[in-house]
Amino acid sequence: DTAVSQTPKYLVTQMGNDKSIKCEQNLGHDTMYWYKQDSKKFLKIMFSYNNKELIINETVPNRFSPKSPDKAHLNLHINSLELGDSAVYFCASSQDKGSYDEQYFGPGTRLTVT
Amino acid sequence: GQSLEQPSEVTAVEGAIVQINCTYQTSGFYGLSWYQQHDGGAPTFLSYNALDGLEETGRFSSFLSRSDSYGYLLLQELQMKDSASYFCAVRPPGGGFKTIFGAGTRLFVKA
């Protein structure tokens, strides 16, 4: 009965490769997010989707392409991986209640680019 | 612009009370949220202050003062399991579904 799930949990790959991370939420939320957390634990939003529509794209390189096939899923595809992409990527979801902001995070995907 | 400032580390003794401050420089926001993150884990929601004042949830309380551009998370009866990172966060108006997080405060609870 996991609320927000991500796969894979760990991802080790070489520079230049293309990889995808999948996210699913079973909470019935209408908004989903991708965050990047660096080695200093700084948590920065990358994208947010509301009802499958892209709302926020926070100056992320276009090598990163999110895709939301439905409200319960938000995937992240990364092309031409670089060393600087190494980080933990968190998916999150929330129910739009106006200003109220309570987000549920997935377990994270630790990406290591060598 | 929007920025949130938190102390990088706080150390306290088991059973004590600790306050983690969050000061912000922002043109406006809807409310102040707090999240907890254990090492290797995911951030988990703790509290949300839409209005000025104190919100209490068990051992944790959160406070907001918009006039002072200041908020804090208060943890009482500290337990070893409270050792974690704590993040404050705001959602600026007009920013869609964008949440800005502070850099986090690492809390060490000692026996």
Q: Kindly indicate the confidence band of residue B19, based on its pLDDT and cuts at 50, 70 and 90.
A: very high
DSSP assignment of A37-72 equals: E-TT--EEEEEEEETTEEEEE-S--TTEEEEEEETT
Strand pairing class (A10-13; A109-113):
parallel
Which among A50, A99, A103 has the least Cβ separation from residue B45? A103
DSSP class of B69: T
- Which residue would you say has higher pLDDT here, B87 or A54? B87
Q: Determine the Cα–Cα distance for residues B56 and B73; give it in Å rounded to an integer.
A: 10
Average pLDDT over residues B87-99: 83
Average pLDDT over residues A75-104: 92
DSSP class of A20: E
Is the CA virtual torsion A83, A85, A87, A88 positive or negative?
negative
Q: Inspect the interface and report whether the beta carbons of B31 and A101 lie closer than 8 Å.
A: yes
Within 8 A of B91 by CB-CB distance, chain A residues are 99, 101
**pLDDT score for A66:** 95
Q: Inspect the interface and report whether the beta carbons of A105 and B97 lie closer than 8 Å.
A: no
Strand pairing class (A4-7; A19-25):
antiparallel
Q: Which of B29, B39, B64, B99 to mutate to test the interface with A (most CBs of A within 10 A)?
A: B99
Angle, vertex CA A79, rays to CA A105 and CA B91, nearest 5:
35
Q: Inspect the interface and report whether the beta carbons of A55 and B96 lie closer than 8 Å.
A: yes
